[in-house]
Amino acid sequence: MNHLSYHEGEVAVQARVGVGSDGLCAEEMYHPAMGAGVQRFLATQQISVLSSMDADGRMWASLRSGPLGFLHPVDQQTVEIGGYSHPDDPVLQDLKRQSPAGMLVINLAARHRVRLNGVAQVEATGGIRLVVNQVYGNCPQYIQARAVKGQGALSSLPSHRAKQLDEKLRSWVEGSDTLFLATAHPESGLDASHRGGKPGFVRCEDERHLIFPDYSGNNMFNSLGNISSYPKAGLLFPDFDSGAGLQLSGTAKVLWDDPRIAEFPGARRLVALEIERVLELPQATLLEFEFQSYSPHLR
pLDDT of residue 19: 78
- If one counts the domains in the chain, the total is 1
Q: Which one-letter DSSP state was computed for residue 171?
A: H
User: Backbone phi, then psi, for 38, in 5-degree steps?
Assistant: -65, -40
Q: What is the pTM of this model?
A: 0.95
Mean pLDDT by 10 residues, the chain (299 residues): 77 81 62 96 98 98 97 98 97 98 98 97 97 90 96 92 98 98 94 96 98 84 91 98 97 96 94 98 98 92
| Helices 8-17, 222-229: inter-axial angle, 10-degree rounding | 110
Contact status, residue 4 vs residue 33, Cβ threshold 8 Å: no
**Cα–Cα distance, 47 to 285 (Å, whole number):** 9
Cβ count within 10 A of residue 80:
15
- Identify whether 227 is part of a domain: yes
4-30: burial string, b at 16+ Cβ within 10 Å, e else: eebbebbbbbbeeeeeeeebeebeebb
pLDDT of residue 200: 96
Contact status, residue 218 vs residue 194, Cβ threshold 8 Å: no
User: Backbone phi, then psi, for 170, in 5-degree steps?
Assistant: -65, -40
- Identify whether 191 is part of a domain: yes
**Cα–Cα distance, 20 to 22 (Å, whole number):** 6
- Identify whether 116 is part of a domain: yes
How open is the CA angle 143-135-78, to the nearest 5 degrees?
A: 115
- Identify whether 298 is part of a domain: no
Please, how many CA atoms are within 13 Å of residue 231, restricted to the half-sphere of its CB?
12
**Cα–Cα distance, 94 to 98 (Å, whole number):** 9
pLDDT of residue 51: 98
- Identify whether 14 is part of a domain: yes
- Identify whether 2 is part of a domain: no
Range of the domain at 217: 8-290
Q: Tell me the CATH number at 48.
A: 2.30.110.10
pLDDT of residue 76: 97
